[in-house]
Amino acid sequence: MKVLFLTQTNELGPSSRYRVYQLVPHLRKLGIECEISPAMDSRMYQRIYLSRRNAPKLSAWRAAWNQRRADLRRVDKFDVVFVQKGAFPGFYSGFERQIAALKPLVFDFDDAIWLPRVGGIRLLRVLHRERTVQDVLRCAAAVTAGNPFLAEYASRFNRHVTVVPSAVDVGAYWQTANSDVVGWIGSRTTLPYLKPLKPVFDNLGVTPRVIASGNPARLGFPVGFRLWRLETEINELSQIGIGIAPLRDTPWERGKCGVKLLQYMACGLPVVASPVGVNAQIVIHGVSGFLVREIAEWEEALARLIADSKLRREMGAAGHETVKKRFSVQHAAEGVASVLRRLV
């Protein structure tokens, strides 16, 4: 079986990295020939998402359009086309319709993309249309969704929906030193999730370690900032001792797939998280971490973990086992392979 994967970005983009790039070596071991075609290459991704300067967006869209036109001309060489989160930035559905008329199309998504976009590029927020998402879901031969919340929406428009949870390569992470450093990993668009925790950090006298792109000065409180880079990501994670994942409780956040929690837990870190969406399915409260809502609960949970190295070690070990058993990249690859095989 030969599969063409059309990704939104190269492996620098988290959705493309976790939903496609890390799965491909395992899919090949399962007998599936894979070729990846990103709409946005690494140079353009760096300029648009990781640089503090404004990059020209139209040139990126033009390059993506030309790439997808070229991909259409070679679809006949493949048995299935797997589209990750949209063939073209801004969610123009014309490419998916043309592909679906030629080959079975699998559509994969890991965000609540039918909702108005939160953060990111303004042009994409302006162009967003829910009916475009529904159009793609209808024309797909099968859909893979990152969590049950997303799958429920997709099932309104497609009868062949499978939940394939986002996963991490547990073997790529290493156990951390048992430290009391509070840390968070994310992106420039998700930095604002940290703002409500300012009184917690102030009261505890904590300067959180933040691994991200963007401008940390916008948070309004001091952080130990580390610029996110793919090649240093795991090493940076290994230097923190407690992972945090605050979220608002809105439909957009319920569509998230909890990758940062999986990263923390793969490192053997205890976690403190908002009980929103899959966070509540990943974290076992009181075993692998704490699920908290109110500011007072955040403060109490972090204070306990900072003070108790034995508790950090026990919770971290429990979380590591959870990721190995339920959220490994091998399991995710097998889920995708099963969907692909049903179409051929």
Buried-exposed string 238-255: b where 16+ CB fall within 10 A, e elsewhere: bbbbbbbbbbeeeebbbb
Top-confidence residue, 88 or 144: 144
pTM for this prediction: 0.92
Q: Which residue has the higher pLDDT, 266 or 47?
A: 266
Q: Are residues 92 and 197 in the same domain?
A: no
pLDDT at 58: 72
Amino acid 46: pLDDT: 74
CATH label of the domain that carries residue 317 = 3.40.50.2000
Task: Tell whether 115 and 20 lie within a shared domain.
Answer: yes
The stretches of the chain forming alpha helices (DSSP H) are: 14-16, 24-29, 42-45, 57-72, 94-100, 122-127, 130-139, 148-154, 198-204, 233-237, 251-254, 259-266, 279-282, 295-307, 309-326, 329-343
pLDDT value of position 56: 54
pLDDT band at 53 (very low <50, low <70, confident <90, very high): low
Give the model's confidence band at 45: pLDDT under 50 very low, under 70 low, under 90 confident, else very high.
confident
Query: What integer best gives the mean pLDDT of the chain?
Result: 93
Do residues 190 and 151 share a domain?
A: no
- Model pLDDT for residues 238-260, shown as the tens digit of each residue: 999 999 999 999 999 999 999 99
Query: 199 and 139: one domain?
Result: no
Per-residue pLDDT tens digits for 303-343: 999 999 999 999 999 999 999 999 999 999 999 999 999 99
35 and 12 part of one domain: yes
Work out how many domains the chain is built from and give that number: 2
pLDDT in tens, 185-224: 999 889 999 999 999 999 999 999 999 998 999 999 999 9
Q: Is the pLDDT of residue 229 over 90?
A: yes
Better pLDDT: 40 or 15: 15
User: Rg of the chain's alpha carbons, rounded to an integer?
Assistant: 20
One domain, residues 100 and 178: no
Residue 123 pLDDT grade (very low, low, confident, very high; cuts 50, 70, 90): low
Band of pLDDT at residue 60, cut at 50, 70 and 90: confident
Shared-domain flag, residues 226 and 157:
no
Token pair 């070229």 is found at: 70
pLDDT at residue 89 in the model:
77
Q: How large a percentage of the chain has pLDDT more than 90? A: 84
252, 204: one domain: yes
- State whether 163 and 186 are in the same domain: no
pLDDT at 175: 77
Residues 70 and 218 in one domain: no
Asked whether the predicted pLDDT for residue 51 surpasses 70, the reply is no
**pLDDT over 70 (residue 78):** yes
87 and 175 fall within a common domain: no
Domain that holds residue 312: 170-326
- Based on the fold, state whether residues 152 and 110 are members of the same structural domain: yes
Is the pLDDT at 122 greater than 80, yes or no? Answer: no
CA distances from residue 131 to 113, 128, 314 in whole angstroms, order as listed: 11, 9, 47
pLDDT in the model for residue 52: 57
The full 3-state SS of 123-149, as one line of letters, equals HHHHHCCHHHHHHHHHHCCEEEECCHH
